[in-house]
Amino acid sequence: MTTHDQPVPLTIALPKGRLLPKILEFFESRGIALTFEDRRLVAYDENGRFKAFLVKNNDLPTYVNHGIAGLGVCGSDVLYESGFRFFKLLTFPFGRTRICLAGRKGLGAETYPRHLAVATKLTRFTQDHFHSRGVPVQVIKLEGSVELAPVLGLAPFIVDLVETGETLRANSLEVIEKLGDVTVHLVANPSYYKLNYQSINRIAELLKESGE
Ligand code: PRP
């Protein structure tokens, strides 16, 4: 609390990109209105409960790990790749998607798993997944547009997020196997949570309530 008994806003990192509109809409449905104006990367909600930072998806765990943002909204894929461990406060109903092994149409089981060269953003997940199955894998790291790799001959396979499947279809690729699920979470830096657990729990309860 400040001297005027105003609550100190909780700091929260939000990811730029396709999740952001869903997050803002969900928060608004719970009475938390956040507007990032004129390309500004910091916003306060009108009730002073949050100070929100707009960060690059893959940087989000770094901000939370360093306590710059005490809270974050992040996909389980990005959390896993970061290797950081946070308190997971809740799972949101939006943003669920799949991690899939994909390749050119018709490639299928014939080439897999004898020779598994995979291009992916999700290098940690891919290594761990195939190692746990005893399948040797060569992982080629990309930052995006992963679907180009089989088209251009960088690698016959990709491991990537598949939401609608449109990007795969548009590039003559298909899912070979689903490897995992992605869910979106509210996470907290453990030290920050211990210091602010009362107000964080209140917010988590508010976000858990079913909307209209
Ligand atoms: C993600 C993902 C796929 C695509 C899947 O990429 O890596 O490329 O979305 O969505 P779909 O199944 O609905 O087509 P994103 O749009 O985040 O961009 P990126 O290629 O730069 O990672």
Looking at the fold, whether 39 and 77 belong to one and the same domain comes out as: yes
Q: What is the pLDDT of residue 8?
A: 86
pTM for this prediction:
0.91
Looking at the fold, whether 12 and 72 belong to one and the same domain comes out as: yes
Which secondary-structure segment (H or E) carries 51? Answer: strand 50-55
Q: What is the CATH number of the domain that holds 168?
A: 3.40.190.10
Higher pLDDT, 37 or 172: 172
Atom of ligand 1 lying closest to residue 163 CA? 12
* pLDDT, tens digit (0-9, with 9 covering 90-100), for 84-120: 999 999 999 999 999 999 999 887 656 665 669 999 9
Mean pLDDT is lowest, of 11-20, 37-46, 168-177, for 37-46
Looking at the fold, whether 8 and 91 belong to one and the same domain comes out as: yes
Report d(CA 78, CA 60) in Å as an integer: 8
Report d(CA 160, CA 72) in Å as an integer: 22
State yes or no: pLDDT of 191 exceeds 80: yes
Q: To which residue do tokens 């060269």 refer?
A: 117
Q: Is 144 in the pocket of ligand 1 (CB under 6 A)?
A: yes
For residues 170-189, give the mean pLDDT: 97
Q: What is the pLDDT of residue 78?
A: 98
Q: What is the pLDDT of residue 3?
A: 47
Looking at the fold, whether 140 and 163 belong to one and the same domain comes out as: yes
Looking at the fold, whether 85 and 119 belong to one and the same domain comes out as: no
Atom of ligand 1 lying closest to residue 160 CA? 7
Mean pLDDT value across the chain? 92
State yes or no: pLDDT of 59 exceeds 60: yes
Q: Is 190 in the pocket of ligand 1 (CB under 6 A)?
A: no
Residues 6+ apart with CB under 8 A from 197: none
Structural domain range at position 158 = 97-181
